[in-house]
Structure 1
Amino acid sequence: MLSNLPFSYLFFLMMIFGTVFSVSSMHWLGIWVGLEMNLIGFLPILVYKKGMLDSEAAVKYFIIQAIGSSFLVFGSLIMYNISFSWEVLSLVSSKYFYVSVLFIISSLLMKMGVFPFHFWFPSVMSSLPWLSCLLLVTWQKLAPVFLIGVMMEISNMLWLTVLVCVMSCGSAFVGGVGGMNQSQVRGLLAYSSIGHMGWIVFAVCQSYHSMKVYFFIYVIISLCLFLVLWYLDVSLMVDLGNSVGGLLADFSVIVLLLSLGGLPPLLGFIGKWNVFMESMNSSMSMFVFFLVLGSVMSLFYYLGLFFVFVLKVFGKISSKLFKGLGFSKLILFMNFFGGWFLIMFDVFEFI
């Protein structure tokens, strides 16, 4: 367990303090320092099981975060070269300023694993324990999402809004397509997180209120889902229905997955509906179609899992109910000789 890790509470405090320091700083150097403190506190949590897969995932995560931090520093240096200030609000209309904003937005999207920087997220998450996966899809997204919102608010540039909306639509589409090819629970949740990050980033472009509501709902559903999966210790989707937790725990996993997909009237549908209604009054409403398309594809896969689970449970119940009654023999008899009985009835009726 994580409590056996030396200085585990210190790592948690450093991770939390790094995020808080980053979102409360008004200088780009302070933001960068906060993100690095968060990274230093999170890396030991990734490798607390001391396994080969955990170490590999930690190295991949460290490399991606280092590249994202270098993009952030490079973009902030360009901005400092223009305005001679490290403050976030120091904006100057210049072609170099557009380049700096592009580097900073790319760094934040890379840290979150949003399209087109999503390639590292499924491989990292597939190798982590449940606690690390929970922190990766919830807490580690908080600072980049907030900073993207700040950049969108203070820049107020149409081309940047369109670019972020295109990336969010691509993220939702990749999350829907990638989840359909997954049989592992962690890989499925990784692509689900990529799709939800697309919705959250798109919500940032619309209003802070819709983003906060969606992010809060996503954190609640993810917390419940990962706690149940941590209890069941299920690695493959085919194991649902045969786990040690019983049918009720397995059914709760399926319902939580449907809620993540946005099936009405579950909780996950409320966040999507809120973003949908907020976007109807903006000029970016045309991008909602691609977001909904990605959600429909992910929901198609979740509904398939639901029906497979229901059929598996029904098979168990029916086998216990009709055991010893010759029910299978009756089914075979009806299929072999039922047609002949119908033919004979038709002949007698004709006579």
Structure 2
Amino acid sequence: MFNNSSKIMFFFILILGTMITISSNSWLGAWMGLEINLLSFIPLMSDNNLMSTEASLKYFLTQALASVVLLFAIIILYLNYFPMIQNNFYYNYLIIYSTLLMKSGAAPFHFWFPIVMEGLSWMNGLILMTWQKIAPLMLISYIPQNNLMIFAIIASVITGSLGGLNQTSLRKLMAYSSINHLGWMLAAMQTNELMWMTYFYFYSFLSFSLMFMFNNFKIFHINQLFNMFLNSKIIKFTIFFNLLSLGGLPPFIGFLPKWLIMQLLIMNNQYILMLIMTMMALITLFFYLRLCFTAFMLNYYENNWNNNMHTNNFMNKCMLLFSFISTFSLILVSLIYLTI
């Protein structure tokens, strides 16, 4: 990604834009940070090919639309402070909430997210799935609770689980997985202010460890997973263990944040929401398990020149370290909790 110095500069401006948004004490300052973040991510997305150019254009148009509506809602919100203009705060916050959902890629405003992800490299996709969600989610946590949040949570978990069922592209699969996880983060946000951050940390780490592997081996489609790693079963198992951990299978660390959120929802008597979210999480686990079962059980023939893995030794050690943390951390955390 950082093939020249200008990309490094834009990357730091991207971080700066997010920091301006989350540290701002006014809606206008937060909007400025979002715009700086948007305009610095566009040059990072373009890798001098048609797919990335198309993805960056679609991303720009969607985010620009959301920014214009957000600015409009902020101006109306400021006008409410004048006594001669009487308006309802509820509808203003509803518009702001909708634009922030569009910026973060949550359902029902998710139409752009899988298409944009398909045209990006793995590292740019990782930024879009993790860092680019921080500022909108932080602003959503400032908004008073409303009925649209429950609708967005249910729509996100349903869209993220059902949308990934018929995908052959791993980037689209990760995009729908991100929409599903976003529903869990929104559910955590309405019950506890800090719980969504905990979920976000776990999600970011698991996405990084998985995309690091995909980027290292240049894997973009499901059939590539079946045809690779026949000579290195450890790497094959670690990739699929990371997938199952991202889906939230109980022995792995990805189950821990889901466990905490389910416990919070039960404590808040939100049984129906918890039931819907758990059922949709099982559907995501279904297509991950279907993927893993096929790759583990079937033996594919491969050509002799594919037997040697042209990978760095240091990269392999890093991947195994991330996979070890992803696989065994829940057991270690449970043991530490029991000893305390």
What range describes the TM-score normalised by the shorter chain of this pair? 0.7 to 0.9
CA deviation string 1:312-343 (max 9, x = no partner): 25x77xxxxxxxxxxxxxxxxxxxxxxxxxxx
1:144 and 2:143 matched? no
1:135 and 2:134 matched? no
Equivalent in 262, 282, 285 of residue 276 of structure 1: 262
Aligned residue number for residue 91 of structure 1: none
Structure 2 letter corresponding to 1:304: R
Deviation of 1:95 after TM superposition, in Å, equals: 4.8
Greater displacement, 263-272 / 246-255: 246-255
Contact 1:174 1:294 (C-alpha < 8 Å) held by counterparts: no
1:290 and 2:282 matched? no
Contact 1:75 1:99 (C-alpha < 8 Å) held by counterparts: no
* 1:121-132 → structure 2 map (5 Å cutoff): 121-132=113-124
**Unaligned 5+ runs, structure 1:** 86-93, 317-351
Aligned residue number for residue 94 of structure 2: 102
CA deviation string 1:226-252 (max 9, x = no partner): 100001111111211423683322322
* 1:92-241 → structure 2 map (5 Å cutoff): 95-151=87-143, 155=144, 157=145, 160=146, 162-241=147-226
Q: How far apart are the structure 1 equivalents of 2:271 and 2:193?
A: 16
Q: Return the TM-score normalized by structure 2.
A: 0.84
Structure 2 letter corresponding to 1:23: I
User: Identity over aligned residues, as a percent?
Assistant: 36
Contact 1:16 1:38 (C-alpha < 8 Å) held by counterparts: yes
**Unaligned 5+ runs, structure 2:** 302-340
Contact 2:107 2:156 (C-alpha < 8 Å) held by counterparts: yes
Deviation of 1:5 after TM superposition, in Å, equals: 2.8
Partner SS state of residue 48, structure 2:
coil
Structure 2 letter corresponding to 1:62: F
CA deviation string 1:19-44 (max 9, x = no partner): 00001001111001000010111111
Structure 2 letter corresponding to 1:237: I
* 1:289-328 → structure 2 map (5 Å cutoff): 289-313=275-299
Q: How far apart are the structure 2 equivalents of 1:62 and 1:285?
A: 39
Aligned residue number for residue 3 of structure 1: 2
Q: Return the TM-score normalized by structure 1.
A: 0.82
Q: How far apart are the structure 2 equivalents of 1:10 and 1:254?
A: 35
Q: How far apart are the structure 2 equivalents of 1:143 and 1:282?
A: 27
Aligned residue number for residue 247 of structure 2: 261
Partner SS state of residue 88, structure 2:
helix
Partner SS state of residue 4, structure 1:
coil
Contact 2:80 2:87 (C-alpha < 8 Å) held by counterparts: no
1:52 and 2:37 matched? no
Structure 2 letter corresponding to 1:263: L
Q: How far apart are the structure 2 equivalents of 1:219 and 1:256?
A: 12
Q: How far apart are the structure 2 equivalents of 1:231 and 1:84?
A: 57
Aligned residue number for residue 62 of structure 1: 60
Deviation of 1:291 after TM superposition, in Å, equals: 1.1
Q: How far apart are the structure 1 equivalents of 2:39 and 2:235?
A: 35
1:39 and 2:38 matched? yes
Larger of the two Rg values belongs to structure: 1
